[in-house]
Amino acid sequence: MLRVNDFITIQDWELTEQFSRSSGPGGQNVNKVSTAVELRFEAERSPNLPDPVKRRLKKLAGRRWTLDGALILRVEDTRSQARNREIARERLTDLIVKSLEAPKRRIPTKPTKGSVRRRLEEKKQRGEVKALRGKVE
């Protein structure tokens, strides 16, 4: 069981782990030991996540979100399988915590009258400078 915060805990059935050989540091050990971790979280079917959180999580996950609604994280940072498992779980909790924060709605604003007036005056001056570049008659 993975505890995200006081309200959200992820059950074991929602997580599956697969191990494979990883690239990177490790020398000959890379060819013998399966240290890379692929953590699969069944986010779409999770009863612990509300729908808005699932939508934000899908947006944050990007390409890591599958068509059947699972989030897949692959970690092969270290030579240790146990440490890679920890890193994958930490990344999953970080993503879920980020998706819990609802973004602020943007309130559209208008430019001030003074800024509009200054902009138009600058445009007029620039136009006069360009008009003076013409041929002298």
Q: What domains, with CATH codes, occur in the chain?
A: 2-100 (3.30.160.20)
Q: What is the pLDDT at residue 14?
A: 83
**3-state class (DSSP) for residue 74:** strand
Query: Residue 24: which region, alpha, beta or left (left: phi > 0; alpha: psi -120 to 50)?
Result: left
Contact of 35 with 19, CB cutoff 8 Å: yes
Q: What is the pLDDT at residue 26?
A: 67
* Residues in Cβ contact with 94 at an 8 Å cutoff, skipping those fewer than 6 apart: none
* Residues in Cβ contact with 96 at an 8 Å cutoff, skipping those fewer than 6 apart: 4, 8, 10, 49, 53, 57
Q: Assess whether pLDDT exceeds 90 at residue 116.
A: yes
Enumerate the β-bridge partners of residue 40. 16, 72
Q: How confident is the model at residue 73 (pLDDT cuts 50, 70, 90)?
A: very high
Let me know if 20 is exposed, middle or buried by CB neighbors in 10 A (0-12, 13-18, 19+). exposed
Structure confidence by residue, pLDDT tens digits, 9-18: 787 788 888 8
Q: What is the pLDDT at residue 127?
A: 95
| pTM for the structure as a whole | 0.71
Q: How far is CA 79 from CA 30, 44, 110, in A?
A: 8, 31, 55
